[in-house]
Structure 1
Amino acid sequence: MTTQKTSHNFTKIAFIPLHTNLFHIVLLSISLTFGVSSIYSQDIKTTKGIVAKQQNKATDTIKKNTVISTDTIKKENDSIKPKKAFLDGKVKYKALGYTKLDNKQKLTTLYDEAELYYQDIELKSGIIIMDYEKNEVYAGRIKDSAGKYTQYPNFKQGTNIIEPDSIRFNFKTKKALIWNSKTDQGEFNVKASITKKENDSVYFLKGARFTTSTNKENPEYYFRTSKVKFIPGKKVITGLTNLVIADVPTPIALPFAFFPMNKETSVSGLILPSYNDSNLRGFSLQNGGYYFALSDHYDLTVLGDYYTNGSYGMRFESSYAKRYKFRGNVNVRFENLINSERGYPDYSKQNIYNIQWSHSRDTKANPNSSFSASVNLGSSKYFQQSINQSNIGSSLNNTLSSSISYSKTFNIIPQARLSLTATHSQNTQTESINMTLPTLQFSLDRIYPFVGKDGVKKGFFKNINLQYNLNGRNYITTTDSLFFKPEMFKDAQIGFQHSIPLSTNFKIFKYFSASTSVNYEEIWYTKTIRKAYDPNQNTVVNTTVNGFDAFRTYNFSASLGTTVYGTFNFGENKKIQAIRHVMRPSISYAYTPSFEKYYDTYASDASGTMDQRYTRFEGGIFGAPGLANSNIMGISISNTFEAKVTDKDSTKTEPKKVMLLNNLNLSTSYNLDADGVTTLAWSPVRVSTGAQFFENKLNANFAATLDPYAIDNSGRRINTFNIDNGGSLFRMTSANITLNYALSSKDGDDKNNKKTDQTARNGGREDDLFGTATDLTDNRKSMFDGSEEEGEDTISEFFRSKIPWDMTFAYSFTYGNNNRENKITGNSLMISANTDLTPKWKVGVSTGYDFVQKGVTYTQLRFERDLASWRMSLNWMPFGNNANWNFFIGIKSGILSDIKWEKRNFNNR
């Protein structure tokens, strides 16, 4: 080291700038100010264009550690290799308190709200110390005026954020030592007493705890382990791990644990089963299996159940999606159910299954074609007997239906459309199944042969149009026991329907709209029947005749209608200012001639004298030609009533519109060819109406059938008007009233938007009047889902002053008097209610009462407790054929969904 006075000459020093420019600027300023320089040798990397000039020729007095001019360096010194600067990028730093430079120790200290930025590293802390000699930085907390620690370090590298008490980090090796670190990794909050950062992708933790709780400082539960290997975004591997609840260690421990933490795609892994027991099937392991993350576009879940009496179940669930192309899911469920033990009189064995497939294609994929599927088929008794489903709404539904369709549009003139559809309809009570495999539909767009070059379609002739439609079906009727067996195709019916409708519409007297149409149809069948009397069997037998056959029909129809508007004004100073009535009367006429030429006769007895008429097309899927003329005139009137009322809000100048009756419809028909014996002229009058009250929360609907004819003692309609038989003008044969009322503690909240997906998909109600579905494969579904207050612990002294609740009522009344029985055939009330007893307790009930059968209908009680990171629920149906209860407690997080305990009991399963 050389010390010189200010009067002496200086040797010009060539400072090679480090990336930390601020340090050298401050150092140079201090040297020039005090006139004393402490100069240290530093190897200089040769840089073209930078040459230090010599001003002092007395170079022999300068020691080795003095930096000399490059032009005086001897050749023997050229063998010395320059050292590389220890930083590969610029370091930016600042501090609110002060910045202290120690040139001798090569330390820079930043104090109070210190910040440091280097490459992808961001460090904020109360104090930061940079050591240029060791290539390290240290950060720690500081004490405030009250002696409390504050300004804890916040270390961020890339997407990883660590909040420790203190940290020591090496810029060169990227290694770090962290004390009391806190970090978020996926759904986990991790805290460790000591963390060693080996490199950018591997961390070793000692004395760690991890949890999914949002309360990092005082979690309601956590897993404690002594050793952890942590690879961000990929996995966590631990040693001996113990579950701690409310700071109390539990006996639940694992010798090691593995948690996948892939952020981009799901990771394959085991799904642990849950233990249970059944009165009918013994002990069981349920819903165990494996999840396959096959790709970014589709996955597969395989689940299974096993009971000690030999019963078992399998489920395959897959979801798939491709952006701007398609999305869907497939669920296949199979269960082999064994009751009792072999050799006992109540022993039984059966197989039940259910297949669901939903598929939709994005319209952006191909605007000229579409493909969709909605499949729900299987055993008729699946939802009543399944050991892994508790769905009252689905079990009460009598119909399962499916549809798979493909359509394509051909952009030609005229435009053509083609569609192929496979349908399925299954009655779960009768176990009958109707299918079309497939239905072919082809149509050509409407053609206007008389329209002018200007394209204006106005008047009778210019509006004349025709089109062509083709409908082909392969219709199958079978039963549940023959489904998917060759026998189901034995009696399949195949037919084609060709139709060419010719129609037009026009105005009459400016206010009346008229339309007429003529329709020609040609039906093709591949099977017909032949009826004949068989003397050996002494009965009439039907013989199927295979081969092509066809018949042709035509019909004519016309309609005339108008719209009449009427307003009753009561004055602007009245509460009800006006009532508006809109009436739409219409008259229609339809004529179909007799097609007697397609009818034959057969002898109905052995004498051969009793001839009966029939058509060989009888029982065809598109019907058969009619024998008698059809000459019908229809009459209908549609009404709506709307009121203008003074708004309660005095600031509004316009009156408020209120719908009084959505509709009031009356319809009947008159048979012009009625003979008064076999057919009567007038058909019953059908009346229907509907209205909404209390800001559309109450929906009321009424329907009735009014018969103008009397009946005889046997209940048969006779050609005598009821009023001429000593009765009223009309005889009410049936009537039905339904009321639906949904209300909530929140204004404008529509309770009916709350859907039970599985129930709605199976054709049931979308609300919870018949209870909510319990999917035993995933009990993490919560009553709190979708709640605005989810996760908020807003307990206050006056919480009960505004308890959230919702309620739904449904009332149905049915009256029957078709044969003078004058009987109430149906009278029931259904109620569903949900409320929050506290911000963390939800209670719900669905029940009802049948006033005809005098008994309580299906009832479900629901209880749920939000335990922050955990969830506890109890669903109980106390009586009925589906009486059961199900209790569940477990962690909400999907990554720890296997940490749960559940208990259930199905009395009849």
Structure 2
Amino acid sequence: MIIFDKKLYVSLTCQKTGHNFTKIAFKPLHTNLFNTVLLSFFLTLGCGNLYSQDIKSKKNSLPTAKQADKPKTTVTESPVDTVKVDSIKPKKTFLDGKVKYRAKDYAKIDQKKKLITLYNEAELYYKDVELKSGIIVLDYEKDEVYAGRIKDSAGVLIQYPNFKQGASEVQPDSIRFNFKTKKALIYNSRTEQGEFRIKAEVTKKENDSVYFLKRARFTTAKDIDDPEYYFLTRKVKFVPGKKIVTGLTNMVIADVPTPIALPFAFFPMSEEKSISGIIIPSYNDSNTRGFSLQNGGYYFALSDNYDLTVLGDYYTNGSYAMRFESAYAKIYKYRGNVNIRFENLINSERGYPDYSKQNIYNIQWSHSKDSKSNPNSTFSASVNLGSSKYFKQSINQANVGSNLNNTLSSSISYNRTFNTLPQARIAVTATHTQNTQTEVINMTLPSLQASIDRVYPFVGKDGVKKGFIKNINLQYNLSGKNSYVTTDSLFFKPQMFRDAEIGMQHSIPLSTNFKVFKYFSASTSANYQETWVNKTIEKSYNIDQSKVIDRTVNGFDAFRTYNFSSSLGTTIYGTFKFGENKRIQAIRHVMRPSISYAYTPSFEKYYDTYALDATGTTIKDYTRFEGGIYGSPGLSNSNIVGFDLSNTFEAKVRDSDSTKTEPKKMMLLNNLNFSTSYNFNADGETTFAWEPVRVSGGTQLFENKMNVNFAATLNPYAIDNSGQQINVFNIDNGGSLFRMTSANVTLNYSFSNKGTGKDDKNQQSQRNGGRNDDLFGTNTDLNDTRNSQFSEDDNEDDVITKFFNAKLPWDMTMAYSLTYSNVNRENKISGNSIMISANMDITPKWKGGVSTGYDFVQKGVTFTQLRFERDLLSWRMAFNWTPLGEFSNWNFFIGIKSGILSDIKWNKRSTINR
């Protein structure tokens, strides 16, 4: 017998219906010993099969076969006096946790039907289950709950159920859920799993990990009830956070079924950041290589710290390409990525005159170490090496900025600091520079730099470094190189290693600085160097070949040099005031003049002579260290005085904001520099005493949006009729004081009505060695065409509001260059070009851009690219067109934005003319 606590009902009448708390409890029957014994006696007499208490079942069960009737025997056990509680086991409560609920209109309890009904903005909480709906009915006898919608005053269904259990959340039309079996029946459920949004007519929840769906649609669109596209399937097995397995599935676009269908489908739904999977290739055709499958491969999610993408292309004429891309990271340790690309390119068909075959490759590696892991050591890498013609001929790269790059460079370095006294440092570096025009490669593999911090031997116990003597300091530097000079064709071949040069250089600089006449800063230094090499040369005239030949001499050799230098400089401040009532109140001019002197003696003891002809009468000096990796000692002494003057100009301007009392500062010229030098040992024939005056300067205008830089070279010497410089000042030859031999001006202007300028969207081009802006167009890596100019927030705003907004977002970058040459009285403009890149939101969903320019000297249009992009909500469409020049091509792409469906795309492009 079940008895409900009467206090429960009293408390319910006193509480508000919107804030009820139900606690259902069971109370056992308390019995009286005398009444129990008396009742047992009478019941035993009346019926031998009726007992007041349970009889424990015997261990041996009775046989099931029919037996002869026997006299009934009643066995009665005497009750134990100590029994105070009835042995009837109470029925276990249907819920083993607290239930909280509330409703706006009412909470009705039906004791007879064992129902609790909540109406209007109803909420129910039990363990990890949260249920919100218009109406909720709890059947605590069947351990079930029902939730559904209600109608408003207009008869419209509102307050859809929201069922949440753990991390899973469903928004159906109605739901039935059993607390014991954990099974549920859900109608028109709506849920999100990763990037997918799922809606199903009927969903059956078997347990916490398996769902079965009927007539379900899957999409990445934001509006699940009216998506731009979806995948419709009849039967689905859904494992949250892991996978979706479907039967017959076909794609529906704008509610129109398409012939794109699959007999079955598998959608991975891992909650991990990434999972392994196949990358479906795209089809294309080429006039020179035939039909192709491009950018197909496999993505390996190897661990949480690193991954691997393997991509490949194949053309029917035999061309193929492979790419290996990997990114790795470990928090507070390091991060980096590696790209390895190889292409076997075959043009035309074997036997045709335009047939060619070649292999090109490119290796890129970027690595950085977190300084928190070890503050005393660092390791970094920035590698970009490979075939000199890779970016010009690659079938998967299209960017003029990378194609026009003349230099590839790499650096891998390890630095460590030793906390000794004095402190010591060591750096091991591998470097690489490659000229893509000449295909000459220079490598140091490796180079060593070591140093010991400055030591002040004359500093007193107080540690004060003041004056000429106390500021004297010295240090030790060590540099070592293993240098290679080779070409593309010999790269990493045996000859490259045979031609290696090894050297080491030791230097001990001694320096001090002090004040002169209070306002002048003086410094002086002396430096001693010792250079070791493993190869030298020997020059001699070969009679048989009738020419001078160089013979390489292998073996250790060394030379020692020293030099002296000093400098004197000061800073002069000048302010020109115009009055506080003026727009420009004052101009501040800062001058930093300096004079320097450097002397290096002659080291003729390291020089020998060789004959220029067979007679031996004409000889020439040379040093056996000529062409060494650390240079060679000088034959003549160097005695040079240098003059430098740097200037900055700054103005104080009255602020246009009348509320501000202080004037604002405005930079007029960031720098205006003049430099020249005088050589006391010039011979007047091959060398001249005065070096040309070099002028350079720069400033920023229009709130630092425009950078202006200029430079000029002013030569004080005249030239003769043949254009050769002579040892006569130009002013003494009937000319001006200086002859301007060259000058150039560059302007870079970036402006936008967005207020913050545009983001850097050409990072891969910069990594390839090109520009980080889009003056040469945006970088098009044809195996990754999903980069979009649309931000994630573009879809959040009201399209109608944005369409009628007169302020259309746009940005523009402009670069202008002007070069003047007058070395041999040509007096001409050798370079004059302008380049412009502009991007604009044509409509809220259309973006357009153009990169172009004009060369006024060559009288022709420079690189031009047109680009358009359409935001199709869940889809993206893009078209890039380069109509002119060597790199003319076009590329069209349409595909789903979501990375999980990145293989659903169509990409068509023309062959790049190279």
The answer to whether TM tops 0.5 is yes
Equivalent in the alignment of 1:857: 862
3-state SS of paired residue (1:760)? helix
Does 1:693 pair with 2:693?
Answer: no
Distance change in 2, residues 1:471/1:43 (3 Å): closer
C-alpha deviation, 1:203, in angstroms? 0.7
Classify 1:546/1:866 alpha carbon distance in 2 versus 1 (closer, same or farther; 3 Å): same
Alignment partners' CA distance in 2, 1:455 and 1:800: 68
Which of 743, 746, 754 lines up with 1:746 in the alignment?
754
Match of residue 409 from structure 1: 417
Deviation at 1:825, TM superposition (A): 1.2
Alignment of 1:510-909 (within 5 A): 510-747=518-755, 749-751=756-758, 753-785=759-791, 789=794, 791-796=796-801, 799=804, 801-908=806-913
CA offsets 1:657-691 (integer angstroms, 9 cap, x no match): 11111111000000012232232110000000111
1:698–1:104 distance in 2 versus 1, CA, 3 Å: same
The answer to whether the 8 A contact 2:360-2:387 is kept is: yes
> Which of 393, 407, 411 matches 2:401?
393
Distance 2:399 2:795 in 1: 25
1:139-185 alpha-carbon deviations (Å, 9 max, x no partner): 11111111111111100000111000100000000000000101111
Q: For residues 14 and 227 of structure 1, what CA distance do their matches in structure 2 show?
A: 45
1:52 aligned to 2:30?
yes
Match of 2:306 in 1: 298
Instruction: Quote the Cα distance in structure 1 between the aligned partners of 2:8 and 2:265.
Output: 53
CA–CA distance in structure 2, aligned partners of residues 788 and 213 of structure 1: 15
Find the aligned partners of 1:762 and 1:907 in 2 and give their Cα distance.
18
Q: Is the 2:379–2:413 contact (alpha carbons within 8 Å) kept by the matching residues of 1?
A: yes
Distance 2:629 2:675 in 1: 29
CA distance in structure 2 between the aligned counterparts of 1:500 and 1:43, rounded to whole angstroms? 92
Q: Is the 8 A contact 2:757 2:811 kept in 1?
A: no
Partners of 1:715 and 1:784 in 2: CA distance:
57
Deviations 1:98-132 (A, max 9, x none): 11112122111111111111110000111111112
Q: Secondary structure at the match of 2:605?
A: helix
Q: Secondary structure at the match of 1:830?
A: strand
Aligned mates of 2:645, 2:866 — CA distance in 1: 46
Q: Partner of 1:443 in structure 2?
A: 451
Rounded Cα–Cα distance in structure 2 between residues aligned with 1:858 and 1:496:
47
Classify the secondary structure of the residue corresponding to 1:808.
Answer: strand
Q: Give the alignment partner of residue 76 of structure 1, picking from 32, 38, 55.
A: 55
Residue number in structure 2 paired with 1:368: 376
Paired amino acid for 1:413: L
- CA distance in 1 between counterparts of 2:834 and 2:646 reads 30
Task: Read off the aligned partner of 1:761 and give its amino acid letter.
Answer: R
Q: Give me the whole-angstrom Cα distance separating, in 1, the residues matched to 2:528 and 2:584.
A: 53
Distance 1:762 1:907, change over 3 A: closer
CA distance in 2, matches of 1:29, 1:156: 29
Structure 1 stretches lacking a partner, 5+ long: 1-12, 18-23, 33-41, 65-71
Structure 1 residue matching 2:800: 3-state secondary structure: coil
Distance, in Å, in 1 between the alignment partners of 2:188 and 2:820 is: 75
Distance 1:219 1:744 in 2: 34
**Aligned partners of 1:211 and 1:219 also within 8 Å:** yes
Aligned mates of 2:847, 2:591 — CA distance in 1? 48
Q: TM-score, normalised by structure 1?
A: 0.93
Q: C-alpha distance in 2, partners of 1:557/1:487?
A: 42
CA distance in 2 between counterparts of 1:531 and 1:357 reads 43
> Quick one: which amino acid aligns to residue 803 of structure 1?
L
Structure 1 contact 882–906 (Cα < 8 Å) conserved: no
Task: From 174, 181, 193, give the equivalent of 1:166.
Answer: 174
Rounded to whole Å, the distance in 1 between the matches of 2:10 and 2:731 is 120
SS in 2 for 1:682: coil
1:207 counterpart SS class: strand
Q: Distance in 2 between matches of 1:480 and 1:31?
A: 92
The aligned amino acid for 1:539 is K
**Shift in Å, 1:51:** 7.1
Deviation at 1:441, TM superposition (A): 0.6
Contact preservation (8 Å) 1:239, 1:256 = yes
Taking the aligned partners of 1:797 and 1:883, their CA distance within structure 2 comes to 35
- Could you state the TM-score of these two structures normalised by the residue count of structure 2? 0.92
Note the alpha carbon deviations across 1:728-755, whole angstroms, 9 max, x for none.
11011111110111111133x234x524
| Cα distance, 1:855 vs structure 2 | 0.8
Counterpart amino acid of residue 748 in structure 2: N
Counterpart of 2:268? 260
Q: Distance in 2 between matches of 1:389 and 1:745?
A: 32
Between the aligned partners of 2:682 and 2:523, the Cα distance in structure 1 is 25
Matches of 1:499 and 1:532, distance apart in 2: 33
Seq. identity, %: 74
**Number of residue-to-residue matches in the alignment:** 867
- State the alpha-carbon separation in 2 of the partners of residues 884 and 128 from structure 1: 63
338, 343, 367: which one aligns with 1:330: 338
| Alignment partner, residue 180 of structure 1 | 188
Work out which of the residue numbers 246, 268, 277 in structure 2 matches 1:269. Answer: 277
Counterpart of 1:115 in structure 2 is: 123
1:6 aligned residue:
none
Rounded to whole Å, the distance in 2 between the matches of 1:604 and 1:51 is 129
Cα deviation, residue 800, structure 1: 5.4
Q: Which moved more, 1:290-299 or 1:215-224?
A: 215-224
Deviation at 1:497, TM superposition (A): 0.8
CA distance in 2: counterparts of 1:31 and 1:161, whole angstroms: 34
Distance apart, 1:95 and its partner CA: 1.4
> CA offset at residue 82 of structure 1?
5.0
RMSD across aligned positions (CA) = 2.2
Distance between the aligned counterparts of 2:246 and 2:797, measured in 1? Answer: 32
| Residues 279 and 907 in structure 1, CA contact (< 8 A), matched pair in contact too | no
Per the alignment, residue 77 of structure 2 pairs with none
| Distance in 2 (alpha carbons) for counterparts of 1:863 and 1:31 | 69
Task: Give the 3-state SS of the residue equivalent to 1:434 in structure 2.
Answer: strand
* Counterpart-to-counterpart distance in 2, 1:362 and 1:902: 39
Q: Counterpart of 1:192?
A: 200
Contact 1:799–1:838 (CA<8 Å) still a contact in 2?
no
Question: Is 247-256 or 259-268 further displaced after alignment?
Answer: 259-268
Q: Distance in 2 between matches of 1:667 and 1:264?
A: 61
Superposition deviation, residue 798 in structure 1? 6.0
- CA distance in structure 2 between the aligned counterparts of 1:742 and 1:662, rounded to whole angstroms: 19
8 Å CA contact 1:14–1:52 kept in 2: the answer is no
Matches within 5 A, 1:136-175: 136-175=144-183
Partner residue, 2:63: none
